[in-house]
Structure 1
Amino acid sequence: MVYAEDARLMPSNVPMLAGRAGIQSFWQARFNQGLSHIEKTPIEIQMLGLTAIEMSRYVVTVGERKVQGKDILVWRQGTDGKWRIVADIWNNDHPL
Structure 2
Amino acid sequence: MTMQKSKPLAAALGVLLISGCSGGASTSAAVDVAAVEAAAHGGYVAAINSNDPEKLKAVLTDDVVFQAQGAPELIGKAAVGEWVAGYFSAYQTKWEKTSHGFTVSGDWAFERYTYKSIDTDRKTGAVTTDVGKGINIFRKGKDGQWRVAVDGWSSDKPA
| Larger RCO (CA under 8 A, 6+ residues apart) | 1
Q: 1:8-45, CA deviations, whole angstroms, 9 ceiling, x for partnerless residues? A: 11111111111111111111212222242111111110
- Which protein is richer in strand relative to its size? 1
Q: Which runs of 5+ in 2 are unaligned?
A: 1-57, 121-126
Q: Larger deviation: 29-38 or 80-89?
A: 29-38
Unaligned runs of 5+ in 1: none
Total equivalences in the alignment: 96
Aligned mates of 2:59, 2:79 — CA distance in 1: 14
Evaluate the alpha carbon distance shift between residue 79 and residue 51 of structure 1 in structure 2; reply closer, same or farther with a 3 A threshold: same
TM-score by length of 1: 0.91
Separation in 1, partners of 2:94, 2:85: 13
Q: CA RMSD in A?
A: 1.3
Equivalent in the alignment of 2:106: 49
Percent pairwise identity: 28
Identify the residue that residue 74 of structure 2 maps to in structure 1: 17
For normalisation by structure 2, the TM-score amounts to 0.57
- Does 1:70 find its partner at 2:133? yes
